[in-house]
């Protein structure tokens, strides 16, 4: 993948997903890759946290789900993702979606590449505790990781069968992981 200089139209129009356990650095890597490729970055986690602060029925529903560490249900996720992605015409970097196999199989848009940032649960927990986001207690982190393994990991095989999945070692520094992604 080119670092941004001399990009061809194909690279500019790529739809890329970054996946990994909570704390794997996918949002940081998505931001860097979006900058490299001059593509918009959509982070569904940030979108949900924003919605959770709205004084609406949807806001309260999302707030309650986030407080437990569970995943946002598919129907709500589709509404949110549809709204954001329908406005984008020339490619994107997406993290935080899909989170279930049903979401991946819906295929709202063509996906060119899926980067899976691999990281152990132990390292992910350390990173999450260090960032000290409100509500991320050890219990909530443990539940988020459990839900990830149960609900999200099956998506990896789905993209692997399509030959779109690229596995990246997420244990290095931000720069090292970014170099692995750029060179994949």
Largest CA distance in the chain: 47
Does residue 47 sit within a domain?
Answer: yes
With respect to residue 3, please indicate whether it lies within any of the assigned structural domains.
no
Distance CA 89, CA 50 (A): 23
Residue 169 DSSP SS3 = strand
Give the pLDDT of residue 6: 40
Residue 20 lies in a domain: yes
* Dihedral sign (CA 101, 128, 16, 44): positive
d(C-alpha 54, C-alpha 10), whole Å: 38
In three-state secondary structure terms, 41 is strand
Helix extents (H) in 53-100: 57-68, 74-85
Q: Domain holding 129: CATH number?
A: 3.40.50.300
What CA–CA distance (Å, rounded) separates 36 from 18? 15
Q: What is the pLDDT along the chain (184 residues), one digit of tens a residue?
A: 544 434 455 556 899 999 999 999 999 999 999 999 999 999 988 889 889 999 999 899 999 988 887 889 998 888 888 777 778 888 999 998 998 899 999 877 889 999 999 999 999 999 999 988 877 899 999 998 998 999 888 999 999 999 999 999 999 999 999 999 999 9
Distance CA 44, CA 79 (A): 12
Write the DSSP symbol of residue 78: H
- The range of the structural domain enclosing residue 21 comes to 9-182
Residue 4, domain member (yes or no): no
The count of structural domains within the chain is 1
Burial class (CB in 10 A: 0-12, 13-18, 19+), 74: middle
Residue 2 lies in a domain: no
Residue 1 lies in a domain: no
Residues 6+ apart with CB under 8 A from 170: 20, 24, 25, 117, 118, 119, 177
Non-local (6+) Cβ contacts of 33 within 8 A are 16, 18, 39, 41, 93, 178, 181, 182
pLDDT at 151: 87
Q: Give the phi and the psi of residue 168 in degrees, each rounded to 5.
A: -125, 130
């Amino acid at each position: 993948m080119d670092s941004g200089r001399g990009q061809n139209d194909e690279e500019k129009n790529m739809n890329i997903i970054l996946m990994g356990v909570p704390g794997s650095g996918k949002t940081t890597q998505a931001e860097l890759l979006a900058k490299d490729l001059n593509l918009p970055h959509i982070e569904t986690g940030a979108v949900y946290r924003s919605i959770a602060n709205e004084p609406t029925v949807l806001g309260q529903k999302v707030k309650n789900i986030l407080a437990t560490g569970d995943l946002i249900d598919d129907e709500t996720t589709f509404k949110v993702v549809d709204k954001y992605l329908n406005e984008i015409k020339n490619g994107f970097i997406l993290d935080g979606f899909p989170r279930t196999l049903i979401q991946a199989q819906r295929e709202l848009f063509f996906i060119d590449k899926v980067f899976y940032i691999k990281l152990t649960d132990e390292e992910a927990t350390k990173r999450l505790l260090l960032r000290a986001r409100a509500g991320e207690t050890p219990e909530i982190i443990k539940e988020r990781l459990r839900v990830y393994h149960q609900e999200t990991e099956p998506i990896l095989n789905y993209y692997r069968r399509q030959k779109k999945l690229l596995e990246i070692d997420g244990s290095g520094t931000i720069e090292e992981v970014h170099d692995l992604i750029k060179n994949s």
